[in-house]
Amino acid sequence: MSRQGSTRKRRARRPVRRRPRFLALAAVVVLAGLVASCGSVRYYSQAVWGGADVLVKRKPIERLLEEGRAQVLSAATRERLRLSQKIRDFASRELGLPDNGSYRSYADLGRPYAVWNVVAAPRLSLEPKTWCYPFAGCAAYRGYFSERAARRHGDRLAADGYDVRVGGVAAYSTLGWFADPVLNTFLDYAEADLAALIFHELAHQVVYVKDDSAFNESFATAVEVEGVRRWLRSLGRDAELATFESARRRRRDLNRYLLEVRAELESIYASDDSDERKLVRKAELFRALPSRYRRELVPAWRAAGDAVGGESNLGEWLSRLNNADLVAVATYNDLVPAFRALLEASGDSLPALYVEVERLVALEPEERRRALESLATGRPAPPAPDPDSR
């Protein structure tokens, strides 16, 4: 669906009013009762208690940084928390993101990830398996607070014939239902990455469309990228901005490359070949990805003067790809160019972008998709099909 020290003057903040923790927990328990009939009681039970554990561990950052309390934290942690609050102030003041209690508290979960997501797709299809949830609608992933539980579910899906990817996620959004905290899982991120994560998760509170993961994640990614650019510019960090833009170019190139791979796979899956032959062609394509990447992408990056770090790690990652990984690539990046074009059409004003995005949300899903594809390509949207025509 994330580099150090800021010198911006901090804005005086209103005291954060905190509801008693038992009220937050009560709300979660009520939510559990509402959703228990909508799916696996066991799944929703772990979701409720995992979420409740995060809520219980929250501590207001402002209080943690007070003189008398600071001794409980290392100097490095205090500095990172101060940085997180400068980024948080910037998010609302300069990017128009919600000014609420999210990312004003801190929780140390004692583990490396907040949740583990399971993504799955059939072995001969790139249509993701989806799971539906009350309030949030349907999504192309299922989240667990326990890595073991996530991997068990992934193993069951693999046994049923799915390509599966189980991966740790540093943060998640409750979409404004609760005040999401800064977590130990991402506090030590490089500065631009920390800012990106906070901007991304807050963007989910601006707009979230049920049953449209690609829209939601691409919008949040577009806001995240523009937000980091503005953050670094505001600090005069030209060298870091150049590094960020270089990394973005490489990421764009890699995403474009993976979308081409998707298109090749779709052609294989739609062919008249037998399933056995399709699986052989699929395996050959995936096996060739690392060498193709080194042949088609790395030379161009070097010619452009872009540093190519972690080349062997990326090659190793490509060697492990399956259909589920390509689902995630499309979900987070497919529509980013459309939102970038809409931002430019909005005079580079993020608040104006949010208004335009709300208009898109009001459209029917197919009409919304056509409008976004038109924005991305610069071509007029095709007319909607006549439902009465045959």
Segment 266-277 mean pLDDT: 98
The answer to whether the pTM exceeds 0.85 is no
Residue 25 has pLDDT above 50, yes or no: no
Q: What percent of the chain has pLDDT over 70?
A: 84
pLDDT for residue 383: 52
Residue 123's Cβ-count burial label (10 Å; 0-12, 13-18, 19+) is middle
pLDDT for residue 308: 60
Going from N- to C-terminal start, the domains of the chain cover: 21-114+170-221, 242-333, 336-377
pLDDT for residue 213: 85
Segment 259-278 mean pLDDT: 96
Residue 309 has pLDDT above 80, yes or no: no
User: Which residue is listed with tokens 């992934």?
Assistant: 154
Distance (Å, rounded) from C-alpha 138 to C-alpha 96?
27
pLDDT digits (tens, 9 = 90+) for 339-366: 999 999 999 999 999 999 999 999 999 9
Helix (H, G, I), strand (E, B), or coil: what is residue 130? coil
pLDDT digits (tens, 9 = 90+) for 237-258: 999 999 999 989 888 889 889 9
Identity of the highest mean pLDDT range in 69-78, 215-224, 327-336: 215-224
Segment 130-134 mean pLDDT: 86
Give me the helix-helix angle, 336-345 and 365-377, nearest 10°: 70
pLDDT digits (tens, 9 = 90+) for 147-195: 999 999 999 999 999 999 999 999 988 988 999 999 999 999 999 999 9
Q: What are the beta bridge partners of residue 33?
A: none
What DSSP assignment string belongs to 225-248? HHHHHHHHHHTT-HHHHHHHHHHH
Ranking 18-22, 28-32, 234-238 by mean pLDDT, the lowest is 18-22
Q: How far is CA 253 from CA 197, 268, 333, in A?
A: 21, 23, 12
Q: pLDDT band for position 329 (50/70/90)?
A: confident
